[in-house]
């Protein structure tokens, strides 16, 4: 059952709900988030390159690597690095059927996006993996994100199909990830829009989204943004 924002706020006020991470009472609650101020502060974002999303000493539009080897997307938006407490919530959403976390995580991401793309899609799972897991966490995040942006009609989960069953990416270096994902996706519904965003839970090397971006660019999409909850440093 989905609890309305109004009812959620009333529950916060009258039942002294606690932060699920640290156990402290949540002061001055809002309908959109379930964390206390202390944990929210721990999620404060460092300076980043706006293009690749990796940490920098100061905010920059392009870091040295992006100037030398520009990625196929324009900008990457993320909440923070893949570390506690966000890594805990991502793991719970991804592997423990904690769908209720998707709206809260997406709310944090929505605050970063000033000009949403005309079409917002998600990274698809291969049907075998989705059958085993039972759901696609990126679909849940993208759908909730569009709701927070007040643009539910922009979510289109059917642009891509994952046609190749790949080994898990965890623990693989950048070259291995690229080989693993080559030819893994097919664009089955080319968008008419020129500005498209791809939603994923975590971006590491960017191999997954790079494959999808190239397919979009091939059919005339001009601008691609990446929306993700966490960004991790690229493995050496």
Q: What string of H, E and C letters represents the secondary structure of the chain?
A: CCCCHHHHHHHHHHHCCECCCCCCECCCCCCCCCCCHHHHHHCCCCCEECCCCCECCCCECCCHHHHHCCCCCCEEEEEEECCCCHHHHHHHHHHCCCCCHHHHHHHHHHCCCCCCCCEEEECCCCHHHHHHHCCCHHHHHHHHHHHHCCCHHHECCCCEEECCCCCCCCCCCHHHHHHHHCCCEEECCCCCCCEEEEEEEEECCCHHHHHHHHHHHHCCCCEEEEEEEEECCCCC
Q: Within this chain, do residues 74 and 1 fall inside the same structural domain, yes or no?
A: no
Q: Within this chain, do residues 57 and 113 fall inside the same structural domain, yes or no?
A: yes
Q: Within this chain, do residues 77 and 31 fall inside the same structural domain, yes or no?
A: no
Cα 39 to Cα 24: distance, rounded to the nearest angstrom: 10
Average pLDDT (20-37) is 71
Q: Within this chain, do residues 87 and 166 fall inside the same structural domain, yes or no?
A: yes
pLDDT at 227 over 70: yes
User: Where on the phi/psi map is residue 97: left (φ > 0), alpha (ψ -120 to 50), or beta?
Assistant: left
Q: For the domain that residue 97 is a member of, what is the CATH number?
A: 3.40.50
Tell me, what's the pLDDT at 2? 47
Find the domain containing 159 and state its range.
Answer: 43-231
Q: Within this chain, do residues 227 and 186 fall inside the same structural domain, yes or no?
A: yes
Is residue 236 one of the residues assigned to a domain? no
Cα 38 to Cα 15: distance, rounded to the nearest angstrom: 20
**Token match 């030819």: residue?**
183
> 186 is written with which tokens?
């097919």
pLDDT at 31 over 60: no
As for how many domains the chain has, the answer is 2
- Model confidence pLDDT, tens digit, residues 117-167: 999 999 999 999 999 999 999 999 999 999 999 999 999 999 999 998 876
**Token match 């440093």: residue?**
233
Is residue 51 one of the residues assigned to a domain? yes
Average pLDDT over all residues of the chain? 87
Q: Within this chain, do residues 24 and 68 fall inside the same structural domain, yes or no?
A: no
pLDDT at 30 over 70: no
Q: Within this chain, do residues 60 and 98 fall inside the same structural domain, yes or no?
A: yes
Q: Within this chain, do residues 128 and 143 fall inside the same structural domain, yes or no?
A: yes
Is residue 150 one of the residues assigned to a domain? yes
Q: Within this chain, do residues 49 and 33 fall inside the same structural domain, yes or no?
A: no
Q: Within this chain, do residues 164 and 201 fall inside the same structural domain, yes or no?
A: yes
Q: Within this chain, do residues 112 and 145 fall inside the same structural domain, yes or no?
A: yes
């Amino acid at each position: 059952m989905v609890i309305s924002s109004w009812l959620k706020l009333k529950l916060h006020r009258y039942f002294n709900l606690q932060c699920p991470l640290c156990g402290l009472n949540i002061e001055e609650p809002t309908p959109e988030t379930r964390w206390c101020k202390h944990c929210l502060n721990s999620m404060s974002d460092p300076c980043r390159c706006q293009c690749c999303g990796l940490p920098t000493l100061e905010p920059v539009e392009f870091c040295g690597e992006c100037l030398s080897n520009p990625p196929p997307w324009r900008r990457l938006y993320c909440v923070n690095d893949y570390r506690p407490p966000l890594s805990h919530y991502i793991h719970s959403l991804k592997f423990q059927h904690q769908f209720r976390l998707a709206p809260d995580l997406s709310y944090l991401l929505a605050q970063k996006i000033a000009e949403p793309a005309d079409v917002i899609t998600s990274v698809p799972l291969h049907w075998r993996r989705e059958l085993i897991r039972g759901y696609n966490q990126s679909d849940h995040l993208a759908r909730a994100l569009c709701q927070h942006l007040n643009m539910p009609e922009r979510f289109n989960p059917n642009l891509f199909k994952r046609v190749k069953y790949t080994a898990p990416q965890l623990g693989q270096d950048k070259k291995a990830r690229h080989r693993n994902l080559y030819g893994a996706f097919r664009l089955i519904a080319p968008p008419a829009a020129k500005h498209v965003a791809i939603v994923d839970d975590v971006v590491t090397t960017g191999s997954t989204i790079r494959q999808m971006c190239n397919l979009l660019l091939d059919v005339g999409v001009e601008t691609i943004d990446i929306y993700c909850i966490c960004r991790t440093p690229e493995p050496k």
